[in-house]
Amino acid sequence: MSETRRAFFQQTAAFGAGLLGLSQYLAASPVPQQGDLATDARRKKGASSMKPAEAQSAILSKSLSMVTPDVPDLPCELDGKVKVFKLIAEPVKRRISPFKTIDAWGYNGSSPGPTIQVRQGDRVRVVIENRLPESTSMHWHGLEIPIEQDGVPFISQKPIAPGEKYTYEFAVHQEGTFFYHAHSAMQEMMGLIGFFVAHPEAEHSPRVDHDYGLVLQEWAVLPNNTVPNTAAMEYNWLTFNGVCAPLTTPLLARLGSRVRLRFLNIGMDHHPVHLHGNQFVVTGTEGGRSPESTWYPMNTVLVGVAQARVVEFEAKYPGAWMIHCHLPHHMMNSMMDLLRDRQIQTADQTEMKAMKQMETLAKSVPFEHVHPSPVAINAQSVPGFPQDAFMEMAMDELAEKPETFGLPKNWSAGMMGMMTMIRVLPEKEYDEIVARKRAQKRPTESEALHGA
Ligand SMILES: [Cu+2]
């Protein structure tokens, strides 16, 4: 083992140990989502047959909502017919992997910020409170609203100073997948972004049974640091909804259902997002629904910076199908942290030594460290070795949640970086996981507020 490599793992061990107390506290931060419970509720009770008041309450309690795994929804209150949302911009501790917590910025304790969902035609008021140490503003990306609501400091409003509140109000005449973000480049890179979904007045056809949203982000966090370097041009942590695989909560789909996935990218890199084993069609962009005549089969969609891509597919094949950015460096983490001496040809790597350094790391975090892939006896004599060897880390127990129930042993060793999966499950298995979710479900802020 090289000195740099040894030093890194020793540093990581100390860092990890220091985080333990904190990470136990932070384990609660990613809010578990209801996932398909919403769909189930809708299935049982046709939304179209609801009375207006009932329908309104259903909207508030998310029964027609997109699910943003690992990110909460933002509850709203009604002031007459105006939907009122409150966002607090503030520093947020974000546990992005079982042994890495970063100091991001976000809204209401979440980074990315909580998802706002409204219906086309709604009038919306959003009160921003700035608890950041510097001024901010809010831009409503893609929405056609009056210039004074556009959120650009000095151009359409004065900056929102620390400690100040600022109110935006506008009517949403569009439908689609929009987003909100601070109109400041570095603040965006700190995590001050979130979904703003406007559901259409009339449901799209064909209707979907599951609707999921994923925010794509990249972070540059130097070894032993917790604050993202927003000036960096290279990234070592890649996240969906603010968490790296295997902490990304698997999406669930009932076999035979239709699934919508919405990808939102606001960062420094473009991400070609690939779905395994299925073809999808792009049914929408950040500009709203695309005409059906433009749909054609594909399985990788390039989500450019500041774009949203909405895809739909029929979940007809059972299995745990990966969804991931296909840039090789985005399919993993810690390029700087873990690969420093892999980029230099080294001859002193042996499985025994690698295991030993990983054991040092493993002692600092509560998981049994396993390398499930074998290497050849003569591996050390092959130029280029190691590449992926010793990199896979099985941490099934640390990533365990109802959505991971029944996955094969060491499943987490195959998941890193900007990666998640959609589990297409036959009726019985699907219902079993939904039952497990119900059993462990803690009420979300939105549910508590609306007594759902
Ligand atoms: Cu990528």
**Under DSSP, is residue 335 helix (H, G, I), strand (E, B) or coil?**
helix
Residue 110 clears pLDDT 90, i.e. is over it: yes
| Interval between CA 217 and ligand 1 midpoint (Å) | 8
pLDDT grade, residue 366 (50/70/90)? low
Distance CA 33, CA 27 (A): 14
- Residue 306 CB partners (closer than 8 Å, separation 6+): 141, 265, 266, 286
What's the gap in Å between 266 CA and the centre of ligand 1?
Answer: 12
| pLDDT for position 359 | 63
**Nearest-angstrom CA–CA distance, 210 and 311:** 12
Spatial separation of the C-alpha atoms in residues 300 and 303, rounded to whole Å: 9
Q: Strand pairing partners for 178?
A: 196
Average pLDDT over residues 130-148: 97
pLDDT of residue 102: 94
The CA 365 to ligand 1 mean position distance, Å, reads: 27
The answer to whether 115 and 73 are in contact (CB under 8 A) is yes
Q: Is the pLDDT of residue 12 over 70?
A: no
| 322 has pLDDT over 50 | yes
Distance, CA of 305 to CA of 213 (rounded, Å): 16
pLDDT band at 367 (very low <50, low <70, confident <90, very high): low
Q: Are 104 and 146 in contact (CB under 8 A)?
A: no
Ligand 1 center to residue 262 CA distance, Å?
A: 15
pLDDT at 74: 97
Q: How far is the CA of 264 from the centre of ligand 1 (A)?
A: 12
Q: What is the DSSP letter of 412?
A: G
Q: pLDDT exceeding 90 applies to what percent of the chain?
A: 62
For 379, the 3-state DSSP assignment is helix
Nearest-CA neighbor of 116 among 248, 213, 249? 213
CA-based diameter of the chain, in Å? Answer: 74
Q: 366: Cβ–Cβ under 8 A, 6 or more apart, which residues?
A: 20, 398
What does pLDDT average to over the chain?
82
Helix-helix angle 3-26:351-364, to 10 degrees:
30
Average pLDDT, stretch 233-243? Answer: 93
pTM of the model: 0.80
The first and second tokens of residue 314, run together, are: 């029929």
**Among 29-33, 130-134, 185-189, which stretch is predicted with the lowest mean pLDDT?**
29-33
The pocket of ion ligand 1, defined by CB under 5 A, consists of 271, 325, 327, 330
> How much distance in Å is there from the Cα of 308 to the middle of ligand 1?
14
Site of tokens 């893609």: 142
- Asked whether residue 15 carries a pLDDT value surpassing 60, the answer given is no
Phi and psi at residue 69, in whole multiples of 5°? -55, 140
Question: For residue 41, how many C-alpha atoms fall within 13 Å in the half-sphere facing its CB?
Answer: 19
